[in-house]
Each structure stands twice: as C-alpha cells, then as structure tokens.
Structure 1
C-alpha cells in the first residue's frame, strides 16, 4: 500500500496511539507517500466540475488542507488569495515547502497569494471572516464526530462571502452486502474500542458522514445545497453516481442555527488532505 520511503508499521502504530494533531505532526514528512493523500484523479474531477459550473472564483480556502494537495487546484480556479487551514503544524510545514507563502498569476493583473493558517476548522480566526468565494475540503471529515458538524459548517460559512460556495466530494452509501461495508465497519469498531481504552483519542471514522445528515446540517448552518455527479468515477448498477460534488452556497436569507459553546469546544480537531 505504501510507496518507497513511506512510513513503517512502527511509525503508523505510534501515530495511531497519539492525538489527531500529534499523529499528523509525526506522519507529515512521509504523508504524501501513503495512500491517504487525496488522489489527483479526485482533485482533477472536482476542479473540472467547478470550472464547468462556476468558471473562476476570487479567493479560495482549503479547509483541513493537510500537506496541500488541494492548493494547486485552488490556484488554478481562483484569481485572488488562496489559504490553507489546518491544525497540524507538521502538515502545514510540508504544505509551505510545496507551495510557499508565494504570489502567483500571469502578470497581467493582480497576483494571488498562497498563505497558510494554523487553526481549528470549527473555530476559524475572525481575520478570515467574509473573505473567500470558494472553500473546499478533501478527506478530512472522518476526523469530526457528527455532533461537531454544525460548528465545522458554521465556521466555513463565516469565512465565505455572501453567495460563496463550499464544495467537497461525497461517496455513495456503501451497500450492506459489499465487503467494503464490512471492512469500514470493522475499522470504525476498532477505533471506538481504541478510543474507549486509550487517551488521547484519535478520531477517525468512515461512517459518520452520511449524505442525508450532512445536507441537513449544512442547511441548518445557512447553506443552500445542491449536488452534481463526478462522472469520471462512473455510476453504480442502479444508475446513481459513485461520487457527487456537494455544492453548498452561503445563503444570507436563511438564518444560521446557533452553535452551542459545548459543541464548538468538545475537542481540538486536525484535518488532513487525506484518503477519500
């Protein structure tokens, strides 16, 4: 599963017994040589869908950016500032090495700039409020418990300008008869046991982000929600897309539900540009 130079079994075990933030700090130097990095195929499909539907954007935000797999895509889609946000200092260090705090553009107009911010995705800094036209996230949602989604979505909404778009891929539900369902169910069960007997917890689950619950929480946070198929991934025998792109648009006419302080402060979360 791992390329040459990737982490060994001992390194992965140490990560799994650490907190989410510390675990990704340790894994960061070798993260891009694991299967957990978001595949270029997914990034390309999302970029194509956004460009086709929306054209270009002003400023872009990568929520839980990890080592910065999505930054190149945002640089191509966005004319202005591109920001990556993550709680793991180690992952951000790798992202900076790859993309720098650098200006970009064709020289024909105002250049954009890439920068990185260390922050909890559920409580983004006030300095980022009402700044971005597009926010994306890849492979990080397994690190958020269902009760944390309202704070996460409220934070992203606060960073977007009026009419701004929050876009992310989501897979079709896995049928119960599929071996994959049993594999991910086993993984989630093992993680629950690990977190019951070991501290600090390492929150990573595969079945805590169902499309219906996600839509409801986005709408409660003040988004209008649509989806579009990611056709490069094909369709199921039923005809349903294997992957969809969620398009959640900040709707200032829809009041956002309040987020309780308890939900927002339940635990620190670190994102990653991880497996999708």
Structure 2
C-alpha cells in the first residue's frame, strides 16, 4: 500500500488494532514509505526558517520517529541533537539511518508526557506527532517542553491550514477521525490518532497557559490560500528569557 516498499493493507490493519506504541513498533521498518512521514518540503522549509533565527546550541526532536526532524536540527544546532520517542522500533530505524560517525546525535526512549531531561535545550521541534495526544493532554505536554528548554529557548513546529468544507480533504479527515473514534469506543487498547483535534487557536491558548510567548510565521515556500492566509505556518513558542535576552543563542 502507498508504494511497493510501504506497508500492506493487512499490516496497517494490525497496526490500527494495536496500541500507539506497539503499532509504531510494527510500522517502523516501512514508515518512511508512507504518507505519515512529514514531507521533505515541510522539513526543508522549517530548517530554512530556523536558520534565519539561529544558530542554536542544543536541540531536541520531540516524538522523533525515524529521525527526519533530527536532520533539521543537525542543520541549525552547533553542539548536540537529541531524538526522543516512546517507540523502540522507530528509534531502531532512526539509529540505523543516521549518518555514520555523527557524534552529536543521541537517541532516547521516553514518553513525551514525562521527559527525562533537565532544562538542557535551546530548541525543541516536533513534526506530525500532535494527533497522538488528546486535547486534555496538551497542557501537560507543553509544560514538559517548557521544563526542558533553557530560558529564552524556542519550541517550533509547523501547522498546515485546515481544509475547508468545500475541499475533499476536509471530508476525508472528518471520516478518518470518525472511524478512529468508533474504533476506540469498541476496541482496547486505544489508538489515539486524530487529525482534526489540533487547532491553532486552542494550541496557542494552551501554550500561553504553559508560560510561553507565542508567535508564528508563514512558511513562504507554500504560498497563500485564496483569502490571503498562509497555507503553512511555523508556530514559534519561546520560554521567556529571565535575563531579558532575545532567546537566540550564539
């Protein structure tokens, strides 16, 4: 399914009937051949935007999967890069595909809702993972990110503008979320993956409550919608610098 190298329909069905962690352990060897992986165009655009605000010293890729976001951090962080994920299978693939002899990269297995780090990072990024968190979990998740950033540090992630009801994609995402809610109502363990639950206005409010200074910028590579709004934004949430600095390091 998706491509000759991607998972079959049967493999996806087995994944969908598993827990999130077990499902991604199963999917990991073929994950990079599915549409679930963040497109390179988005990764490159975020890397370019971060390069304009950096450099940074130490970066963390939250829910790193097979490590595509770690490659973004390696371009903008001068000292160290860490990928964290709770799927052992995804981390195994990430380790294998990482550039040989790259001493700056570390991989840590942990739950994003209980990060095992001190305030050790100047930059945290995340790509495509937020659908795995229920809205009620966002305050705790954002508090964890806030806790691992140094004062002045930045939490950045891309957000795609939601499709309108006149678009086929709107109904496809609505249908997918509906199927997942029915599945989770009748089957255990739950598999949390909701594409329509992560709304920019609500996310900004939760980031504010977690203590971030929140802004966003358009990613010009993707152009504008018919109403003039960006197709893709990068949210930039900064932990206030206690010393009154800008938060940019170096």
Give the structure 2 partner of residue 234 of structure 1: 223
**What RMSD in Å do the two structures reach over aligned CA positions?**
1.3
Give the structure 2 partner of residue 121 of structure 1: 112
What CA distance in whole angstroms lies between the structure 2 residues aligned with 1:102 and 1:83?
A: 15
What CA distance in whole angstroms lies between the structure 2 residues aligned with 1:162 and 1:21?
A: 32
Give the structure 1 partner of residue 20 of structure 2: 20
**1:195-274 aligned within 5 A:** 195-251=184-240
What CA distance in whole angstroms lies between the structure 1 residues aligned with 2:197 and 2:56?
A: 30
What CA distance in whole angstroms lies between the structure 2 residues aligned with 1:18 and 1:43?
A: 29
Give the structure 2 partner of residue 90 of structure 1: 89
Q: Offset at 1:204?
A: 0.3
SS of aligned partner of 1:163 = strand
CA deviation digits over 1:192-233, x for unaligned, max 9? 000000000000001111111000000100100010001111
- In the alignment, is residue 160 of structure 1 matched against residue 145 of structure 2? no
**1:34-45 aligned within 5 A:** 34-45=34-45
What CA distance in whole angstroms lies between the structure 2 residues aligned with 1:170 and 1:130?
A: 25
1:222–1:252 CA contact under 8 A, matched in 2: no
What CA distance in whole angstroms lies between the structure 2 residues aligned with 1:89 and 1:15?
A: 15
What CA distance in whole angstroms lies between the structure 2 residues aligned with 1:174 and 1:153?
A: 25
SS of aligned partner of 2:83 = strand
Unaligned runs of at least 5 residues, structure 2: 243-250
SS of aligned partner of 2:61 = strand
Give the structure 1 partner of residue 69 of structure 2: 70
What CA distance in whole angstroms lies between the structure 2 residues aligned with 1:123 and 1:178?
A: 38
1:229–1:241 CA contact under 8 A, matched in 2: yes
Give the structure 1 partner of residue 121 of structure 2: 132
CA deviation digits over 1:225-264, x for unaligned, max 9? 01000111111000000010000001266xxxxxxxxxxx
Give the structure 1 partner of residue 80 of structure 2: 81
Give the structure 1 partner of residue 131 of structure 2: 142
1:2–1:34 CA contact under 8 A, matched in 2: yes
What CA distance in whole angstroms lies between the structure 1 residues aligned with 2:173 and 2:9?
A: 20
Which of 162, 184, 188 is equivalent to 2:177?
Answer: 188
What CA distance in whole angstroms lies between the structure 2 residues aligned with 1:189 and 1:242?
A: 25
What CA distance in whole angstroms lies between the structure 2 residues aligned with 1:49 and 1:76?
A: 11
Give the structure 1 partner of residue 246 of structure 2: none
Q: Offset at 1:103?
A: 3.6
1:132–1:159 CA contact under 8 A, matched in 2: yes
Q: Offset at 1:71?
A: 1.1
SS of aligned partner of 2:36 = coil
Could you state the TM-score of these two structures normalised by the residue count of structure 1? 0.85
Count of residue pairs brought into register by the alignment: 242
Q: Offset at 1:33?
A: 1.2
Off by >4 Å, runs of 4+ in structure 1: none
**1:105-120 aligned within 5 A:** 113-120=104-111
